[in-house]
Amino acid sequence: MRRVMLALMASVALAGCVQQRQYADVEFTPPQGDYKLLVMRPDVSVGSVTTGGMVEPRADWTEQARANFLSALRAQQASRGGNAFIMERRDSLAGIDPDTIAELDRLHYAVASSIALHRYSGDYLPTKRNKGLDWTLGEDAVALGQKTGYDYALFLYAEDSFASTGRVALQVLGVAGCFVGFCAPNVGGGGQFGYASLVDLHTGEVVWFNVSQASSQIAGIKFGDIRTPEGAAQMVDRLLARMKPGRNVRRRESAR
């Protein structure tokens, strides 16, 4: 996860703000009505930013955030009307070997890394120009769809971090310095990052990909907190709520 995350983070401007950027297959129509969605085990982690700027993972915060994220996801899916199954563990899907799920997770990780590199990090590929989102998980995903009857698989990643007291103190010192001519107001520290990736299990293609980032350059100022139920719901909303159709679909709609 680290590599995708770093590549994606580097791509989003450093200014303190909340932003999302999504890409879709040109023929993508957001799933509606009676579809069956399989949500792969969401990867959630929460850490604390040390004074020196390192992120220290926190087990208790992570568990709390994971639980809230899962219930927010359940509520969000219930409101969409689709038939969604959320995998809390790799072995939660009856009849499917957890190793098969793990393999698909790893395959998706490789594909997501490629999307991060070529769509978000600026290393654009001429062969993919004007093609919207043109990546696939191939036969493995199709096989899972045939075996389970699901129409889509959704891969989710969410992380959050919080400035420690020391980091905030450093920030205060940096701002205080502005009055004596050594100004370091942008210490930064803490922020949210996540991505969602929707795979069509009939074709194996990644049809929609969204990255959300929320951070500030001032340590101690936050745009959400996925440890709380509201914050987790906000993160789910940022990741999944505004799914746009693909380019060709939009053109046909506006031509009508």
Partner 1 sequence: MNAQLSRRTLLGGAGAMAAALSAGAANARILPKDMDPLIGPGYRAVDQDEKGLWQLMDRVEEEVSGSNLMIKDEGLKNYLRDLIGNVGGPAAKDMRIYLARIPEFNAMMFPTGFTVVFSGLLLRMRNEAQLAGVIAHESAHFLRKHQIRQWRDMRRKTDIFSFLAMGAGVAGGAAGIYAGDLIQLAQFGTILSLLKYNRTLEAEADAMGLRLLAEAGYDPMAMSETWEQLIGELDMSAKYRRKHRDRDFSLFSTHPTPDSRMADLKISAAEVRQPGKTYDAYRDRYLAALADLRPTLLDDQVKLNDPGASQYIIDTLARDGWNGLLRFHEGEIWRLRNSQAKDDETRAAQGYAAAVMYADAPPDAWRWHGVMLLKQGRAAEARAAFTRYLQMSPNAPDAALVRQMVAS
Residues of this chain that bind partner 1 (CB under 8 A): 45, 47, 50-54, 56-60, 62, 99, 102-103, 106, 166, 170, 173-174, 176-177, 180-184, 187
Q: How many CA atoms lie within 13 A of 202 on its CB side?
A: 5
E strand spans, 30-184: 36-39, 43-49, 55-57, 83-86, 135-136, 152-163
Residue with Cβ nearer partner 1 (52 or 122): 52
Nearest approach, Cβ of residue 56 and partner 1 (Å):
6
Residue 213 DSSP SS3: strand
Closer residue to partner 1, CB minimum distance, 81 or 138:
138
Contacts of 175 (CB under 8 A, 6+ apart): 184, 185
Dihedral class, residue 33 (left if φ above 0, else alpha if ψ from -120 to 50, else beta):
left
Q: How far is the CB of 80 from partner 1 (least distance, A)?
A: 29
CB of 129 to partner 1, least distance (A): 34
Closest to partner 1 by CB, 99 or 230: 99
The radius of gyration of the chain from alpha carbons, rounded to an integer in Å, stands at: 20
Shortest Å distance, C-beta 131 to partner 1 = 30
138 versus 149: smaller Cβ distance to partner 1: 138
